[in-house]
Structure formats: structure tokens, C-alpha cells
Structure 1
Amino acid sequence: MGLQPHDADDDVHFALLGPFEVTRGGTSVPLQARRSRLLLAALACRPREIVSVEHLSEVVWAEDPPTTVRTQIQICISTLRKTLGVIGMSEALVTHPVGYALMLAPGRRDVDRFTELVRGARSASDAGDLETSVRTYREALALWRGPALGGVDSDVLQRRAVALDEERLTVLEEYFDLELLRGRDRGLIQELADRIAEHPLREKLRGQLMLALHRAGRRSDALQIYREGRRLLVRELGIEPSDELRRLEQEILRDAPELNPGYGKPEGPAAPRQLPRQSRYFIGREETVRRLTAVLADPRGPEDHPYRAVNLYGPGGTGKTALAVHVAHALQDRFGDGQLYYDLHGSNTVTAAPVRVLDHFLRALGVPPGDIPDELDERAAMFRSLVAEKKILVILDDAAEEHQISPLLPGGRDCGVVVTSRRPQTGLPELESVHLDVLTQTEAVELLGRIVGDRRVSQEPLASAQLVREIDRLPLALGIVGARLAASPHRTISSMAHRIHDERRRLDELAHGNRAVRSTISSTFDTLKPDLRDLLCDLSLFGAEALPGWMAGAILGGDTEDANDVIDEAATSQLLVATDAEPTDNPRYRFHSLVRLYLRESVDRLPAEQRARTVRAVLAGWLGLMDLAQAQLWGGNYTVVRGGSARWQAPEAVVRHVLTDPLGWLDTERPGLLAAVGLAAEHGLDEECWEAATQLVTLFEVRQHYADWQESHETALQLVRRTGNVRGEAAVRCSLGSLHLSQRQAGRALPHLERSLALFEELDETGGTALANRNIALCLHTVGDLDGALRRYERAAELFRLAGDPLGRAHVLSNMAPIHAAGGDPGRAEKELTEALRICQSIGSSRVASMSLHRLGQLCLGQRRLDDALRWYREALAIVRRQADSLGECIVQHGLGDTHMARGDHAEAAGCLEGALVTAEAAGHLHAAAQVRVSLAEVCIAQGLDGRARNLLEEALRVLEDHDHQAALTRARTALARLDGVNR
């Protein structure tokens, strides 16, 4: 069960809209200690959220926290809890491992009441009830007692205060618009003048005061207000007034009758010019600009599309509005009859009603208010009629759904429409969809330079590149960090990059003024259905770059198609992004890192048991698919110890994909699988953890992912030892022994293998005991104890037979054969290899078959049966190439080269060995490359290329002496001695 709001005395309230205070029954609760007051304000700003200690530290101490910051915050929280206890709210302050939360029930804060009232005022206005709307607006504005969060001396909290004050001004302007619409011009003049004195750069307020003065017969005063505003804008910001304000000045100068309320001139109104000002920081997007321009300016006939229309969609903060406005300004001449613009607030809880938008458009087109119909359908029809023969461009910004957009679309073939939205509006086929994502790295760095100055960026190029990567190249986030850096010219870009690098505080850092990345993501997330929100949070647990779509089915359970529908809807929300450029039955998805951080904040608040269930469900999917991959690679689930973890059956399309290229699939999914091992350990899922780790060994071995092998198994080993999972410990230690053997470190392998053997024998685990014996035999074989190795191999072979594991027995036979050949019994060796090959062919195991074929080639080469050796090696080469096994290909090519050398075919030998050397070096197989160099040096000596031969041998010896490979060392030293003898 998650955190729940605390219901205290109904008389307790938290006031943020003015000086910060807590009241009970109208009486202020004493909060005299500065730090406690700041902490409580920070928690009250984010009720029912876990607020990190790092964020609280910055609230209190800015960028210079003491070394004892956690202790001091704990002391302050303890004091706060006592203070809240006096008013019955001590339980509302909740401690969490990463921070604290104030569990206030909705409605405890004045800002909650303000939001509720504004929503009601807007709804009344949309319904045409202007009197109720005005009354409700007044009630909402009356809640303010001064600037938000007054008396709170924290830069962090003041950023939140600025956002609240900005919201108040927006609401105030909406209220004034309604009063002007009702004709209350004279009664507004003094109130508007007072607000202008407080906010002299607010152009909307200035225009409202100009209009009220003009209507009151004070035209000269209205023009004076404009001139004062222009002087201020030029002096303070270096910009001219907006097009809208300049147009209003011109209309006042000519005493335009359309400024009077109720005036309408349908036969020839002035063309509306409603486009917002272009952003001075707009850069890049050349290809998208060209595409939008081509769509909007293309004179297509009505048989194709009735008009030019485009839906520009993408995640919040990617700059859709800036791009739409940029293109619209560039096409003003093309749409000479005007441009209409409206923000539909699709990402807000309350969106703009189409009936209200049409009222705005019809007034702008000159329809008298009294002539505008009440019904939506009638307004839409009137709008279409008015623009039918016009060249009008309509910008519908931040749309929510098709039903909101459809009534606002014009019918004229010469009209253009740009709809911006976070979701693609595919339900309207007349809209051509254009997706907008984050900036490229180059564009993002250029934008940062545009905001903070190119010189600062050029002085810190690496920090600038790191900063834009950390914030996902998101234009909104760039604008925020750029504004913060521009406001602090003494700060380095490196300092900001360092702050942003900390994932725990990144979203807190990405806020400035009334802009915040967290609120932008939240505005999309909060509109989703609960099951979709839950799925996104669950998926965010897995930190891989790309997530396979089947995860949704594993998490949700039930019908596969239902799960596909849910994850498709998640991708439509733009919080989850499909990574595949082309259609596929196995889609993959990714989160932008900032979205994943936001979701992790939500999922971290869930109970640990709930998170563990999600991890277990996904691991059931991974394990089921790894079983299939293992069986395809080895001809069955052989030579592996399986645990008791649950398996989930993936859809058929996913299974087909895995079976087509099991090793390639494992390599692609490696980051996700490793993350799953870590999550299993984090949530104490010991059985799933060790199974997932050991199932990856084939991939680790073939692709030489030794670091991943070590890390995943050390993680699993710590967990199984802590939980007392004996079987898991035995399996992991056996696998760690294989790791060290692969690195030719028998001394490190043997302790793990001996402990593994003891545990498997204690458990009476036949298959595990066979594996441990086989690996101990490999250790002994590696260090030259051939008799000891042979005894262990024979024991392992018998145990594999008893365990019903033919592949394990075939592998052992292949390893015994070289010992018997070296001991003077090549006939027995050939029988063992032939039997191993027969077993592999009967069960369809090509991997061990290739090893047996290679060993047969070696055996025939040693007996000078060179044609047979070539045949075996070529069969083995075909297998390892099909499997993209670079180490196997290197080894087999090496054998072919040695065989051609024995035939005296030096050119063929050199070709094979050169190929083996390239393969080994490209894949990082240093030891194999060294051995190839020895053989290639022998070929060079035979060809008279003594200089190259010496270089090859010296390079080989540097590696071989470290690995103590006696046979290869002897060959290398013998060849070098031959060169020295020739040159003396």
C-alpha cells in the first residue's frame, strides 16, 4: 500500500498565495526557525511527493551545504514534526529512504482552491455564462494576499513563487478580458493602471488598459500608455512592442470603430494577425521546416486534400510551438487574409472548449458578438463559411484530441492549418503527420551558445557537450539551463553540467521562472489512464537503452493483444518512443532520460513488494526466452543448471525472432539482461538472479564479454550466499570457474570449482556435479596434469550419461581425445571425436559439433592425413561463420593455415592465417592472435620474409610469455632461433 494523504483537523490550512504560513482556525501556527520554515514550505510546494534530501539541502543552503547536511535536516524535520504534532499533523510528515513527504489531503492549500476556482471560471466562460465566470474569477483572485511564498528566502522556492505569480497574472488577464467583453471599461481603468505599475513589461495588461482608456474617450491617455510601454521595452529588453500592441496603437490612432464593443463589420473586417512573436532562439530543424512549408504552400486540388493541413506532434518541450510560429511567420504573404492562433491547452487538466475558440475566431473575423450563435455546430458552420474563399492560416496550438480540433478546421481549399499536439492526431486523415523530437547534438550546442553566448560555449566545449547530452537535447530543458546560466554570468558551464549530472536532482535543476521540465512531463503523464501510468512506471525500472515490447505483456499478464494495445497507447503519448524506423513484429521502445527520471520518482514511491513483482514478471519473460535461445544454440537445454524461477511464454512472433539468431538476439538484449540481473539482486530475487546470470554464459564466452561475466556473477554470488541459496551458489561458482578458464587463469578457477563440486555433491545434483567435474578437468588439462584431467573427464562423462545430458558427454569426449592422441592412442581419440560428432548431429548441436570437427582436423593434421584435415576444418569453418563465432573462426582458420603449410602451399597458408589474424585482432582475442602470429611467422620464414617473421614472433612472445602457453612458446622460440642461426 502506497503513501496516503493525512486527514488532519479541517481547520488546518497551508497558505502559499502570499506570505507563507500555516493556520489553524484562522490563527497562524508559529514557524519561527528559518530552516524549519523553509523545509515545510518546500514540502508544501510538492504535497504527496517524496522530496529528496538533496533538494531540501539546496532549498536551505543553496550551493554551499555543510558536511553534516543530512544530520541537520533530520534535526529540522524532528522539530517540524513536533510543531505539526501540536495541530494533529505529525503523521503527515513521512520519512522515506531518499527524502521526506508532506502527505496533505487535496484542498489543504490555498493554491488548490485557486486552481479549482479558475477551472470553474473557465468552464463557465466556455458555456457562455460570463457573469458566473467573472464572479468565480474574482473569488479566485481574492485568495492572493501578496506575492507567492512571501518571506521565504530561498532561491529554489522563489523559482516556484515566480511560477505561481505568473499563473496569477494569466488568470488576471483572463478576468480583465471578460470584463472588457461585458463593457465594464471605466470601472477597470484604475485597477489596470495599478497592475501596470506592478508589471510594466506585461504587454497584455498594457493593451487592456489602452483599450479601456480608448473606450472611455481618453484616446490621448491610451496612446501615452503605449509610448511609455515602448520606451520601457526598448530600454529594458532591447525589443519593440509586439505586433498585436502596435496594431492596437494604429487602430486607436484612426479611431477604428471595431474597437468598440458590439461593433461588427462582416463585409470587410481587418485581417486578423494573431501570430505570437517568433522566438529569438529558434535554430535548426531545416528539414522539418522545409517539409511543413512544402505542405502548407502546395497548391493541391480538393480531390487530394480540401486544404493544406499538418499535425506537428512530439513530446512536451521539443519546441513544437516555436517551430509552428516560425513557419507561420515565413508564410504570412502566402496567407494574406490573416492568421488565427489559439492555445488549446491540450496538456492541461482543463482544455479549451471548441465553442470558446470559435467565439474568439469569429470575433477576430469581424462577427458582432450578438450575431455569434450559441451552439457549437452553428459556430463551426459560420466559421467555415467566413473563411471558405479566404487565404487564412490557422494555428491550433497544444491540441488534446480529435474532437477538440475537428470543429475548428476551415473548409476552404486555400486555407492552411497547423495543429501542434503531443499525441499524433491520426483520427483526422486530412492532417499530414510530422513528428518532432529532440535536437541533434550539434543543434543543441548551438542553441546553448545562442542563449548563453558563443564565447562561453567555445571556452568549455566538453562541458557544453556533456550538458546538452545530460538533458536529452530537449529544447525546453536547454532554454531553462541556458536562462539560468545567462542570469549567472559568473558561473561556469561545467558547474551546471556537474549539478545536472546527479540524476537525483536533475529534474529539480531543470526549473526556471514559470518553466519546468517536471511539470511539462507531468502534464502529459497525469492525463493517462491509471493502467497506462502504472505500465510506464513499471517499465522505467529497467534502465536499458531500448526495451522490447513483449515486456508489457509480461508485466500486465493476460491477453497479448491487450498488452500490445496498452504499449501502443503508451508510445502514442510520446512518453515512450518506438525505436524502430520500419514496422516490425518485435518493436522496441525507449524513454528519453528525463522522462525515465520522472517516472522513477513515481515508481520509487511504490512499495518494494510491488516493484519486486514487476521485476519477477519481466525476468520470467527473459528466462523463458533464454531457455529457447539456449536450446537452439546447443540442441536442447543441456550443460546448464536450471532453477525454480517462473517462466512466461512470449508471443509467437517474439519466439520466431529469437530462434532465427539466438546469439545475435542475446547480444542485442545484453544491456537489458544485465540490468535485469542487477534489479533481481536489488529486490532480493535470488533464484531469478543466479539463473539469469548463468544463462548468459554462452554469450559472454563467445563474444568475450568478460567484464559483464564477472560483474553479473559476483552480483549473483553475493545474493545467493546472503540468502543461503546453496544450489544457486554452486551454479554461479561453477560458471565463475568457466570465466577464469576462458581467461587461462586455472589458479583462480580451481577454488570456485572445488567449492561448486562440494555443494553439488551435497545436494546430490548429478548434472551440476558433472559440470563441476568437467570444468576441474579443463583446469588440470590446462596446467598439464593430463592423468588427473583424464580421470575427471571420465567421471564427468559417466555423470552426464546418468543425468541424460548427451551434449555434456559429447563435450567431454572431444576434450579427452587430444589427451589420448598425445598419449599415443590416436585411434581411440578418433573414435571419441567421431562419437561426439554423432551425438551432436543427432541432437542438432552445431556448437559442440564445430569443436569436434576442429579436433578431428587437428588429429588428422598430426597424422599427416592432410586431405582429411582440410575436409574437417572446412566443415567446422562453415559452422562457426554461420554462428558469427569470431574466436571459433580464428581457431579453425589457424588450423587450415597450418594444414596448407604442411602441404607446402605457402600462399594458401598465408591467406588463411592472415584472415585468422584479422579476425582475432578485430574481436580482441589477443592470445589467439599471438598463436596465429607464430604460424604466420613460420610461413614467412619459408617464403624468405625474415624481417616480417621476426616482428611477428616478437609480438607473439610478448603475449605468450604472460599466458605461459608452453606449446606455442616452444614453437615461437624455435622459429626465432632458426632466424638467429640463419643470420649469424
Structure 2
Amino acid sequence: MDRDGGPRVPEQRAPVPPPQHATGRLGEQTPEQGPEASGTGLRFGVLGPVRAWRGDQALPSGSPQQRALLAALLLRDGRTATAAELIDAIWGEDPPSQALAAIRTYASRLRKVLDPEVLVSESGGYAIRPGAATLDLTGAQELATAAEKARAGGEKGRARDLLNTALAHWDGEPLAGVPGPYAENQRTRLAEWRLQLTEARLDLDLEAGCHAEAVSELTALTAAHPLRERLRELLMLALYRSGRQAEALAVYADTRRLLADELGVDPRPELARLQQRILRADQDLARPPADAPAAAAPAPVRPAQLPASVPDFTGRAAFVRELTSRLAGAETTVMAVSALAGIGGVGKTTLAVHVAHAARPYFPDGQLYVDLQGAGQHFAEPGTVLGAFLRALGTPDSAIPESMEERAALFRSTLDGRRVLVLLDNARDAAQIRPLLPGTAGCAALVTSRIRMLDLVGAHLVDLDVMSPDEALQLFTRIVGEERVSAEREAALDVVAACGFLPLAIRIAASRLASRRTWTVSVLAAKLADERRRLDELQAGDLAVKATFELGYGHLEPAQSRAFRLLGLPDGPDISLAAAAAVLDLPEQETEDILESLVDTSLVESAAPGRYRYHDLVRLYARSCAERDDLPPAERESALSRLLDFYLATASGVYALERPGDRLVDHLEPTTYRGLSFGDRHRAQDWLYAEADPLLACVRQLSGPATLRRAVDLLYAALDLGESGANSRQYEATAEAVREAARTRGDTQAEGRAVMTLANVHQLAGRFEPADREAQEAMRLAGPTHDPLPLCWASNARGIIALYQNRPTDGEGHLLRAIEAFRADANRPGEASALCNLSRIHLAMGRTASAVTLAQEGIDIYDAMGHELRGANGRYALGLALTKSGQLRAAADRLHEALAVFRDSRQRLWEGMTLFRLAEVDLAGRRPAQAAANAEMALTVLRGIGGEWRRGNVLTVLGQALAGIGHAGRAQVCWRDALVIFEELGSPEAVQVRALLSPVAAA
């Protein structure tokens, strides 16, 4: 038994079914069959209030005693309950004199409501006929049993889902409001079983890597069940795997002190051993242990990311044997690394993919693949790739560390004990791939690159040259067909020779010929002879690749070649069909036809439905064609200008849809090319986030004199990318680049707007001093131009920054000027924003009543204009004011309304901050367990965004909540972490944290 009186849950196993006499198995249907599985369509609920339904119609269940009778019958598994047993169940040892008559009355009433065939009288008692109805408890039990079987079979992900579904059957306290000793006994049993299910599911959460999410729930559960050591053990493990070792150790110290004070005993051995393992930083704790029965079961997540191998793969037999043999030996080596080097088009990727597929049996735990884009200017960052790999291996976003070094360490830990092949295609250099290498026996890496990686220690280097004449002819024949080639063998040899025996060139030439039945091989050979003359003007290496692309380009129709040249101009990693149509100035259908024809020539790749991309070398070639051929500079500039217009017009529409009536869109540079329009806010947001990379690349690329102002305004219109957290760093880098471009060109208006976007970025990241400097600079630059955007926005920003810097008087002055400026500009949403910010200033000055009034004024403006997203910001401000005024229920209501909108809008920063404010409300309402849960969720959501200052504030409140539930040691750890943050930032909050720490330190 656990010391809180409940049966101990078997560790690392799914929970047992509920205790005897609580099975409630009324029917044989599975939970998925639903209420109609029974003949009557009746269903009952006991995992909450005792209720009955026929279909969707709720049935009256009568008085509390009548519900007690129904519950007693439902929980007897269809067996008959005598009148004496029912009397004892409802009234215990002191029944009323008319108890028997009352039982008969209750049964009669229930029979009328339900059905005489459902509730039957027999042997002097009553029973619910087996199979007559479904019961929520039955469904939960069947799901729990299925979860146990799934886990025993190694299907831990399915087991976790089944347990979650089982727990969803509960609707509050079981048998809520039902009187009598029998109901009380069953209520205790069912509550214990629910806790067992929860522990088992949390155990699976930790095995799935959901450590940060589990901390919040476990914190609340340990507060509700302080003597349940298994929950403490899970909490320690979750904290440790979240990188919070000191807090994990503090949980043990708190537990030891609590058990000594309450029970006079030490923690159980399992808890003590876990503490020692944490102290030793036991590496095995960094990953979940494997169950012995499931040791041979497949890993929970087995990525299979290899691209398809070409069906006509030809030659390279010696390389295939060499590389496959090398990979096959990975199980007995520390790490097998093979690096293929060669010029573009030589077939490195094709060979690597073919070998990887051949070696799949040696890597049963999966294969990872990434194109590192090493030949381009914007090569893949190792940290970004590691994030994608960790997600593919089943690691949730919240558990992925922020730094590249931590991600690399977690990647290696995740692969430890697995046999996974990593294919790193198109690498830039050894430095790019070193963090991406596994590092343990059983795993291997296969690398392709244009350069020889001599500095990649321990790698098996392979130099891939052009194909032999026989292999080249064989590849050509497989694509074109034996009949056509055998009739003109000499011409075919001329073709592959003209291709320089490069596989990609041969493939393009053969594909051209195969799609043109009227051509002979000799015709193709003659055409290639003309192209071959260009090779005399080229040197070695990549120039052979250029000749290969020249081959395909020379056979394009005029519309295709124009599209090929123009679409190579934008810098983005890929391009959507709509954006491509803007570049080409063509209808989407015609654009799609051209792009698909270019995909057929292998000059363009189809990245996804409706999205296209160039291989990096093909893009360089396309641009050289645009400069070399009859494509005037004015046409190239017009194409990129249309793309910028498309992005600006569409982003402006997205902004206006989310912020009706906001005057920002009226102050942006005009566009001549139309953008997309969306019917609802969600589709608009989907577009913005899907286009984040190419959109920001367009801003960076088009910062020249003719397009600079539109580029800056596009950054303004897309400010959600900076606020959401997902693209904040990329957005900031783009803002820096545009600011420098504007400064270099002496464009004061553009510089002022670019500086304002930087101020916003710094403020959101919690860097308040640079944010204030940039906002002040934006106002200075806007003075001569009278640009209303920086003048309004900067004053508003400086007001809220002053609040964060504990300068409320300065902040009030800035915000009063902002309100005046917004009103002068007839910008009602801007005015509402400043009013809500002024509410927070008044709150800091102790003017609570006016703070509530100002926030409500802002909300009224937002609501009148249908401004849902910014209305949530208003409700956030009102929630703070109501909290300080002691109206806690109303404050929580407003904050929950805001939270729903922020989640729906993918505004992670504001979602996290709202959870933090809800934690403050819970603290004020003396609900420390709920406060701790909300603060933990805030930390999880804000991971990597919002800056250290906000994290310090959340840690402070979390510490207060933990202290309130008796986790004093863990609270001290949180406060110490917060103090370090505030002292490094020079923030005044350090004084409050020192005051919190002082009584703890003195004790």
C-alpha cells in the first residue's frame, strides 16, 4: 500500500481494472460502438453525476436516494441486489422505518423512466438487465485493458492514446452527490482507479518525451495527493528530463521533509535511488527505460524519410557494394560515416539514396534524410535540421532545447540504442554536418557534398566521377528504349559523350528524346554537338553541370524558358503557385501548366502540391540565363517588383482581416499587382505562416532604391511573424538587414519604419533598453517626414516599455501622446491599444478603478470593430486590472476568453503570458496548486520566446505557488533562477525575489 492508503501501481505497467464490485459491465459492446449498441439506446454515467440518456435525450434520475439506488444497480454488473442490500447501500446502519417502501417507490419510478424490460424485479430484489444499456465505466475499463495489452506489445503510443480516451470518460467526481455508504465506498475506489490510470498515462508521457507538459500536471497532482510518492517520482523524472535538475532534487528534499513530519518515515527506496541517479547525472535517465517484454518491439517512432530510389538506377556496382558493406558494419563500429564527393550532376544523391535503400535492413529503427542546401547562399542551419530530426524521432516541440549544442546532445541521446541511418545530402562542409552525426554504434551517416571532406575525421571518403561509357549508354538505353538505341548505337554513344557522361545530363537528354517520338537519336546527337561547343568556353568542375542544364534549357519552348529564367530570380527556398503567377504575370492555371512542364524536364522540382523549387545550382544557372539571354534588366526588375507587390498586397489583406479598421494598411506603399484574398482569418493566417520563409527572403532581397519602402512595409504588414515566436529570429534578422539598407541609401522614412519594427522585436523579446532606444530613434527619424506610423507606434511602445522598466510616470506621458497621435490619424484600434496599455500604467500607479475603466474602453472599441485578436489583448489588460481590484472571478473569465483567442491565432507569446496571469489570479484566490499548473504551462509555451525577463517573472510566481503547496525546496530553486535572471538584466524585480528568498535562507 502507498502511505496515502491507495494500492501501489505496478511501475512501468498499465493500470489494473477497477476493484471488484466496480466493473459495471452491462453490455458486451466496445466503447467505440457508442450508445446505440444496446437495443434500447440507453446509456448511463457514473464517472461523474449519476445520469441516464436515451440517445441524446437526458432522462430524469430523481432524488439523491433514487440516484443512489440506480448507482447501486449499475455497479453490480447485472446481478440482482436484494432489498436488504439496497437499503444498506443507501442508508447504512440507520435506515428509516419506511425504507422498504421507499426502495419500491424508487424502483417503480425508475422503471417508468427507463423501461420495464431494463429494470427488472426478481428474487425479491432488482437488477439492470445485462446488455440493456451501455455504461461509461465499462468503456473506460475496456480502454484500460486495451492499453495494457498495447503496452505489453510495445505499442506505447497507442497505449497512451487509449489511456487518454479512458480518462476522458470522467466528468468530475464519480457518483457525485449520491448519498450512502455504498456510494462513498465506490467513489473512493473509482477515484483511486482514475489516479492509477493517470499515473500510467503520465509514465507513458515521459517515455514519449513530453516532459515539460507533464511537469504542469504532476505539480498539480502532487499538491492534491502530497503523500503519493509515485507522483513525486514521476515529477522528479519529468523535471530532470526538462533540464531542471535542481528542482528535481528539491522535490526529493520536500518529500523527505513532508514524510518525516506527517508519518515519521523516510521516502521509499525507489525515490531515494532516483535522487542518487539524478545526483550522478545518470545518462540512462535522459531517455525512458525499455520494458523487458517489449525490448524487441519496434521503436515508438520509426522515421522513413528516404526519397524514392529511381527505378532505372544504372551502374556504380562497385560503389554500391563498397558503401553497402560499410553501412552493414555500423552495428559493430562506433559510427560508420561515408562521404560522397563530386561535381553537381554526377549522381551523388541518386547513388546515396539507392545505397540507403539497399542498407535499410541494417537500420530497422528508421532512416532520416535532409537536403542541407550546401551549394546555396542560404544553407540549412544545423540547429534547424536537428529540430526537424528530433521531431521525426518523436520528440515534442516543447522538449526540444533552444541551443544547437543541446539539440545535438539530445539527438545523440535519442539515437543511443537505436539503429538509424542518417542521409545528409548536399552538405556545405564538415562543420555543417558534425552536429548532425549520431555517434553511437548501430547508427550510420551517409553524406553527399560537392567538396571532399578531408577534415571529417574517421569518414570513409568516396570520390564519385562521371559514369563509364558502358554505364552511360546503359542508362540512356533504359530511359529511351532498347529498340531506338540499338538502331543508332554510334549516335547514342555520341549523345552520352556530349553529356560528359554525367548522369543528370544523360537523364535530361534521354528524357527529351523519350518524350519526342518524331526525333531520332541522330537528331539529338546533332543538337548536343551544338551545345558541346559551349564546353570549350568553360572550365572543369561545376561548369560541366552548367552544360548539363544548358542541354535541357535549349529545348524549352519560349514560354517555358521565360518562366525558367524569371522564377530563378527570387531568393526564397521555394515559391507558391500564386507567387509564381505574380512573377510571370500570368493566370495561375497557365502558370501551373508551365511549371509542371518544367518539372517534367527535371529543371524544376515539385516541393509539394502548389509549391515549386529549384535545385540551388539550377537556380544559379537560371539567373545566368536571365542575365545572358534576351531578358532586359527592366523585365527582371518588374518580375521581382510584382512578387513584392503580391506579398505586400496579400499580407496587408491578412493584417486588415485580423485588425479591422486599423489604419496601418492605409499608410503602406501602394501596390499595382493584386494579392490574394481570404474568406476567414484562419485561412489568412495559414497563408502568412506558410509563406514566412519566401516572404522574408523577398524583403531582404528587394531592399534596393526602387523597392526599399515596399520591402519595409511588407515587414510591417507581416509583424505577426515576429510576434508568434515561430519566426521571430528570422524576422529580427530581416529587420536588421532592411534597417541597414535604408540607412545606407539615406531613406529616412524607410529607416524610421525599419527601426520601429526592430523596437517591436526587442520589446517582445524582453530587451527593453534597446527597444526603447530604437523606438526613440524611430520617432526622431519620423519627425521630418511626419510619418504617422512610427510617431504613433513608437509612443505606444515606449509607454509599455516604461511600464516594464518601472517608470510609470514616463509611460503615462508616452501613452497620452500615443492616444493623441492615434486619434489624429483616426486609428481607432491604435487608440484602443494605447488605452489598454495606459490601463496597465494606472495599475502600476495604484489607480485601480481608472485602470479597469481604460481597459474596458479599449475593449469596447475593439468589439465594435470586430477586432477579435486585439480584443484578446484588451481582455488581457482588463484581466490584470480586475485581479488587482480583487474581482478574481471576472478576471479569470476575461483571461480565459483571451487565452482561447491567442491559442486559436497561434500567438504563443500571448498564450504563455495569459497562462502566467491566470497563475497570478489563482495565487490571489488561494489556489496554489492550480497556480503552479498554469505557471508550468506558461514556461512550456514560452520556451524559446519572450525573453529572460518574462521567464523570470513566471519563475517567481511558480515559486510562490510551489511554496503554497508545500514544495519549499523547489520554490527556492525557482526563485534563485529568477534572481539570477533579474540581476543579470539589472531589473528591479530582483528586490522582490530577494525578499522571497530571505525567510527561506534564514530558516
TM-score (structure 2 length as normaliser) = 0.47
Query: More relative contact order in 1 or in 2 (CA 8 Å, sep 6+)?
Result: 2
Find the structure with the greater CA-based Rg: 1
TM-score (structure 1 length as normaliser) = 0.48
